[in-house]
Structure 1
Amino acid sequence: MKYYDREDLNSTAIDENSFDTEEKVKRGSDYVDDRLWEKVERVGSKIRFANEVKALYRYMVDKHVPWYRKSIVIAALIYFISPIDAIPDLVPLVGYLDDLGVITAVIKYLGHELVPYYD
């Protein structure tokens, strides 16, 4: 990790960090693109928050949403996709509660920004 002094925080240093972070967001977005719909198709009938997941995806792919806002959504969607959970998805009845908690927290954080992305 690279640390900067106050004097180092000029536009060049910020631009370098920004590019690196934007690249990470792009890679995360690609990961979600590759895996999300398979998961939604597989578990969509078992969960009641599939519409919220779809709205978050639409928000993530919107070119007008800044990358730093997308990063929050990407993290939540990766958690939803990932088989490694606080509560494994295979546990009957409660397996998706942790996923629901993460998705709900992001929706609460973004608030009214998400309204246009629902069906």
Structure 2
Amino acid sequence: MDDVKIGEILEPGSEEQQQRRAERVRAGFWKTVRKAGRSIPFMDEVVAAYYCALDPHTPMRVRGTLLAALAYFVLPFDFIPDFLLGIGFTDDVAVLMAALAAIRSHITPAHREAARKALENRD
């Protein structure tokens, strides 16, 4: 998976695309988090990014980038299908890492606290 493809995946898109992505993310996020489990060592940051993406105070472009990455994460079939044990979330990790690197400064302490509490409650 090269940078061009990741850049294409992370394109914020139109408001309509962002709305569709938000619906997809809300519907499948927690199921995918449970499935990904230990495959993604920075799951706390992914969950904080989820809260950041749904926060109406987050700038629209940042929300769009996060929703694009999270929508890719929740899709059951992507470049490397998630059901392939050991490598299934490799492409998801690359996309999530790129998105987090681009927007990390917009994830607030409140988003991280919400993520910590959500992950504690899911254990």
Question: Shorter-chain TM-score category?
Answer: 0.7 to 0.9
8 A contact 1:25–1:71 mirrored in 2? yes
The Cα shift of 1:56 comes to: 1.0
TM-score w.r.t. the length of structure 2 is 0.70
Q: Which has the larger radius of gyration?
A: 1
Q: Which has the higher contact order (CA 8 A, sep 6+)?
A: 2
Cα shift readout 1:12-69 (whole Å, capped 9, x = no counterpart) = xxxxxxxx93233122212211111111123324432321220111101111112222
Distance 1:90 1:49 in 2: 20
Q: Which runs of 4+ in 1 moved over 4 A?
A: none
* Aligned partner of 1:74 among 57, 67, 70: 67
* Aligned partner of 1:106 among 99, 102, 114: 99
Structure 2 residue aligned with 1:86: 79
Please provide the CA RMSD for this pair.
Answer: 1.9
Among all aligned residue pairs of Structure 1 and Structure 2, give the percentage whose two residues are the same amino acid. Answer: 32
The correspondence of residues 33-44 of structure 1 with structure 2, limited to 5 A, is 33-44=26-37
TM-score w.r.t. the length of structure 1 is 0.72
Structure 1, unpaired ranges of 5+: 1-19
Structure 2, unpaired ranges of 5+: 1-12, 114-123
8 A contact 2:52–2:108 mirrored in 1? no
One-letter amino acid of the counterpart of residue 102, structure 2:
Y
Distance 1:90 1:71 in 2: 26
- Equivalences, count: 100
